[in-house]
Amino acid sequence: MANQDSALQGQGGAAAAAKPEISVTGLSYKFVDGSLGLRDVSLELPAGSRTLLIGANGAGKTTLLRLLSGKRLAPSQTIRIAGVDPFSAGLEGVTYLGLEWVLNPIVRTDIAVPVLLDSVGGSFYPARRDELVRILDIDLSWRMHAVSDGERRRVQLAMGLIRPWDVLLLDEITVDLDLLSRSNFLAWLRGETERRGATIVYATHILDNLVGWPTHLAHMHLGRLKEWGPMAKYDAETDCYTNSGNSKLGELVLKWLKEDLHERGPRNQIQNQNRPGQGKTYESLEGLGGYGLEKKAEDDQ
């Protein structure tokens, strides 16, 4: 992104001028054991949007984010980012930060922070590097084997975001940040969408500092997208605080999760009741956990 306008670039640069819109149409996905991961997911997220992806553990959030990132092959014609298939086009400018990235062993070795940041593009994007160091309150004298989990997560976030991106897919990666660091980080992300028209999809269970932050909500349950839309659709339910101590956004999400639990029932009774299986978690980073067959689910499943 030499011109700082768009990092999206596929083979031949066909997507370079396109806005980073996300389009999902009729996406279903199976895991290697044949179980259903996603069922008929469709949504449209405009460029510059900030979407909170909401759902219980195993609802399908990680599966959806991995497919959006192009790290796994989705069924043909089901996903488009800036108008192209992220898997086949090999898009640059789409950044996915999830479990595998967080557990990268290099960040626990005896290595200096500046060396790590330069290894992922810090010397090519010094202004972004310095801005992220400031926003995330990183001490450049840290050695990575001797920092806390929260400090290590700050460095990891800076590493993942130094290179300019147009679509950012975040999968529960702010859990170790303290309240101030998370607030500053979310403000910076908001600025990226407003200044550059970048697009963010953020899966999280932590709703602190998020009142007024999302432009869209997407609610997943058992591999399905139960509902989604712009925040204007939910404003009447999310615009103030209640005596419970939660924001209205928190109350809305809590209501959704309670309804999901009632609909699903106890986990150990799901298959016995002939219901769709709970979305799979990712059992192994080396083996088959979370990786699925690249074909559409049969209509009768």
Q: Binning pLDDT at 50, 70 and 90, where does residue 81 land?
A: very high
Q: What is the average pLDDT across 208-233? A: 91
Segment 75-80 shows an average pLDDT of 90
- For residue 17, give the DSSP letter: T
pLDDT computed for residue 102 by the predictor: 66
Rounded mean pLDDT, 159-177: 91
Q: Is the pLDDT of residue 48 over 90?
A: yes
Query: What is the pTM (predicted TM-score) of this model?
Result: 0.81
Tokens standing for 238? 């999310």
pLDDT given at position 2: 35
Residue 161: which of 91, 101, 80 has the closest Cα?
A: 101
Residues in the chain, how many?
301
Q: For residue range 254-274, what is the model confidence (pLDDT) as tens digits?
A: 888 888 888 877 766 655 444
- For the cut 70, the answer to whether the pLDDT of residue 134 exceeds it is yes
Domains, the chain: 19-93+165-177+194-264 (3.40.50.300), 99-164 (no CATH)
The whole-angstrom separation of Cα 300 and Cα 218 is: 25
pLDDT (tens digit per residue) in 152-163: 889 999 999 999
